[in-house]
Amino acid sequence: MDLAEELASKQRSISVAEFFEKNKHLLGFDSPTRGIITTIKEAVDNSLDACEEAEILPDIYVGIKKTGKDVFRIIVEDNGPGITPAQVPFVFGKLLYGSRFHQIRQSRGQQGIGISAAVLYAQLTTGIPAVVTSRTGHKSPAHRFELLIKTETNEPEIVKEEEIVWDRMHGTRIEIEFKSSLAAKKRLLDYLRYTSVVNPHARIRADIDGDLHNFERASDEIIVAPKAIAPHPHGIELGLLKRMAAVSDKKLKEFLIDGFSRVGEKNADEIIGISGLKNSRKTSGLKIEELKSLLSAMQTVSVPPPPASQCLSPIGEEMIIKGIDKEFELDFVKSRTRKSQVYSGNPFIIEAAIGYGGKLEAEGTATLMRFANRVPLLYQQGACAITNAVSQVNWRSYNLSQQGIPTGPVMILVHVASTNVPFTSESKDAVAAIDEIEKEIILVMQDLGRELKNFLSRRDKNKQEEERARAVCSLLPDIARKVSEIVEKPVPDTAPLEAQIMRKVVAKKQTINGTVEITVSNHTRSPVSVTVYNMSEDSAVDAKPKTDFTDVIGDEYNKLWKAEIEPESAWKATYSGSGSGTLDVRGVDEKKLVVVDLDA
């Protein structure tokens, strides 16, 4: 046997499953610790995508139970549309089986690798089959499967299948058991929290080995799943063009107009003209060389950008803020959704938010939350185009210090939504450096940076003013004491003065020569609406203005006025009487109110 034959005898095809077995890191299963996060991430992504397609508000349960030494059972259950029993083994037991790979629209999962990779990972580490329960509606029973993957052939192996009674009307539950550890629990919680921030329409409950976390729903708005669009002539590669051409029975011009987005009569004619092909040709008969010239013609002709509004589903400025507000308590949040842009024929939208203060760490670098198609990116921050773009911004001009990314109590959120998010690898950890994307991120960061700067300078100004007020208030009692010592009179009360300086509401009652005068002065910056209660023996029948209500309690009259008072103005009521009794004001925060009874 010569060498070539000897080698040939060893050569054979490799199944994807086998390939994965050897290259776990490519899909995010490089360590047992990380496996747990990847599994949950893939399952939750699938659940959210499924709910979105079925227009259901997602309710997702995530469970992690320790079942043995280093062995964990991962459970993810949703209220999605469910999967038909015939499909279940393929969805979970065959790699590269999916519904979204061939569609051009924004979705979380794409290749159909993620969750079956988790099943395979379980099989490799514990040998325990994955358990999948799914029900598609109240009319059909739930099916329970125990699944393995035949690695040699990349086909599902059904260990057991049965109909069961499930209290869920519809939904899917997957249970996978593999070797792992909870060392990355913080990161897992970050993943769930971040997911919840960009999916404020979802409710996620998590039970991490007895440790319960709830991520509540902040919006009842159902997300409409983006619609698939035809490929854009600028974003297509030869392989896809070849496949499309082979299955089409149309003539060239029709093929271009029907098969691609934004190609009209005029563009089609132009493309055909440049390609040098005849309009009458059927595309199925095109040779590879002809397809190549067609492709190059498609890419030279100027075609409007793809219709982003259909195929992309940005979170929206308001929703981002809702999501952030529910998970973080901040002093300031602003968000932006940019207009859609295109890179290599792929539409994309950049969304971003910036938050400041609250419970964020005052020291260290900013919290950077990266998202791609509503999925948090947790690993390889340093290799990500988002990080790179954020670092390129000169944050110092927005009054922040920076070490690459800004430092201080700052939170930055960046979401890249695209029909095809360019990742650096299949584990989808980092966005690849694409100039168009980085440019958009820099622009949105500069815009938000200006907003933050305004907030910071306003806050500093308020702070200064408050410090000034405090300084004055600490001196006033001393002045009052010294002055009364000189004039040899009792020390006057400086409380009303201090209230004025501290911008509060001051209510005062004073009786001079049988006339009771009640004044409420608003020294705050906003109008106040107050109710003044004055309880005394005076009936105040001659009150000006008249009381809004007078209640007789025993031999006392409880007088009530309602007043709207603009900033830096005062409300006054007078009546004749003795002036004894009490004064009370409602409708103003107690911290902002000072009541002074000069008759007391």
| Residue type at 386 in one-letter notation | I
- Classify 567 as helix, strand or coil: coil
Peptide bond into 32 cis (omega under 30): no
244 binds other proteins (CB under 8 A): no
443 binds other proteins (CB under 8 A): no
Which position among 216, 258, 265, 485 is part of the footprint of other proteins (CB under 8 A)? 485
471 binds other proteins (CB under 8 A): yes
Question: What DSSP line would sit under 43-63, residue for residue?
Answer: HHHHHHHHHHHHT---EEEEE
Residue 400: CB atoms within 10 A of its CB come to: 22
Q: Which span sits near other proteins by CB under 8 A: 211-219, 321-329, 421-429, 477-485?
A: 477-485
Which position among 391, 500, 531, 582 is part of the footprint of other proteins (CB under 8 A)? 500
Per-residue burial over 530-568, b if 16 or more Cβ lie within 10 Å, else e, is bebbbbbebbbeebeeebeebeeeeebbbbbbebebeee
Q: Which span sits near other proteins by CB under 8 A: 91-99, 349-357, 444-452, 467-475?
A: 467-475
**Cβ-based nearer residue to other proteins, 457 or 484:** 484
**Cβ-based nearer residue to other proteins, 450 or 468:** 468
Report, in Å, the least distance between residue 524 CB and other proteins.
Answer: 16
Which position among 293, 454, 494, 582 is part of the footprint of other proteins (CB under 8 A)? 494
Pairing type for strands 203-208 and 59-68 reads parallel
492 binds other proteins (CB under 8 A): yes
165 binds other proteins (CB under 8 A): no
Cβ within 8 Å of residue 126, ≥6 positions away: 71, 177, 178, 179
How many binding residues for other proteins (CB under 8 A)?
Answer: 23
**Cβ-based nearer residue to other proteins, 158 or 471:** 471
**Cβ-based nearer residue to other proteins, 225 or 596:** 596
CA–CA distance, 318 with 313 (Å, rounded to integer): 14
**Cβ-based nearer residue to other proteins, 7 or 491:** 491
478 binds other proteins (CB under 8 A): yes
Cross-strand bridge partners of residue 509: 518, 597
Q: Which span sits near other proteins by CB under 8 A: 171-179, 181-189, 281-289, 488-496?
A: 488-496
Which position among 82, 89, 449, 496 is part of the footprint of other proteins (CB under 8 A)? 496
Q: Which span sits near other proteins by CB under 8 A: 41-49, 153-161, 287-295, 473-481?
A: 473-481
CA–CA distance, 219 with 445 (Å, rounded to integer): 26
Contact positions with other proteins (CB under 8 A) in 503-562: 506, 508
600 binds other proteins (CB under 8 A): no
Report, in Å, the least distance between residue 479 CB and other proteins.
Answer: 5
- Consecutive H or E run containing 500: helix 495-501
In 379-504, beta strands by DSSP E: 402-403, 405-406, 410-418
* Contact indicator for 381, 404 with CB cutoff of 8 Å: no
**Cβ-based nearer residue to other proteins, 106 or 521:** 521
First to last CA, the chain: 117
Q: Which span sits near other proteins by CB under 8 A: 55-63, 307-315, 440-448, 474-482?
A: 474-482
502 binds other proteins (CB under 8 A): no
**Cβ-based nearer residue to other proteins, 120 or 532:** 532
| Residue type at 527 in one-letter notation | P
Q: Which span sits near other proteins by CB under 8 A: 45-53, 220-228, 384-392, 493-501?
A: 493-501
**Cβ-based nearer residue to other proteins, 500 or 576:** 500
463 binds other proteins (CB under 8 A): no
501 binds other proteins (CB under 8 A): yes
181 binds other proteins (CB under 8 A): no
Question: What DSSP line would sit under 250-316, residue for residue?
Answer: SBHHHHHHHHSTT--HHHHHHHHHHHT--TT-BGGG--HHHHHHHHHHHHHS--PPP-HHHH-----
482 binds other proteins (CB under 8 A): yes
Report, in Å, the least distance between residue 481 CB and other proteins.
Answer: 9
Q: Which of 107, 170, 115 is nearest to 147 (CA)?
A: 115
* Contact indicator for 124, 21 with CB cutoff of 8 Å: yes
Q: Which residue has the tokens 């932006």?
A: 336
Report the interface residues with other proteins, using CB under 8 A: 468, 471-472, 475-476, 478-480, 482-487, 489, 492, 494, 496-497, 500-501, 506, 508
